[in-house]
Amino acid sequence: MEINIRAAQQEEIEVLFEFEKGIIEAERPFDTTLKDGKIHYYDLSELIKSPESEVVIAVANGQIVGSGYAKVKIAEPYLKHTQFAYLGFMYVNPNFEAKTSIK
């Protein structure tokens, strides 16, 4: 099985919402400060459109099985570097079992 990583497309947003839901469900037991009911951590549409970020998905056998994003952020003025990449939205479908290396 081959796993490909590519940029997410706006028309894949419903799958990405399900992944976000999975992240929130996994974190809820550890964070009592989260509101009850439906919440969102990310503005996924904006992250996909933004030139300052890249939302990526992992695809295996035509199925989206994982996600993540990198967003360029401005560093604090006391640091030597002026920008850095923040990584987030890391998720792998728990029903997916990889039996090969990522390409």
Model pLDDT for residues 29-86, shown as the tens digit of each residue: 999 999 999 999 999 999 999 999 999 999 999 999 999 999 999 999 999 999 999 9
For residue 15, being part of any structural domain is answered with yes
For residue 74, being part of any structural domain is answered with yes
Domain at 8, CATH number: 3.40.630.30
Which pLDDT value is given to residue 50? 96
CB 40 within 8 A of CB 34: no
For residue 29, being part of any structural domain is answered with yes
Three-state DSSP at 47 gives helix
CA-atom Rg of the chain in angstroms: 15
The mean pLDDT of 7-36, rounded to a whole number, is 96
Q: Residue 9 sits in which domain range?
A: 3-92
How many domains is the chain built from?
1
For residue 26, being part of any structural domain is answered with yes
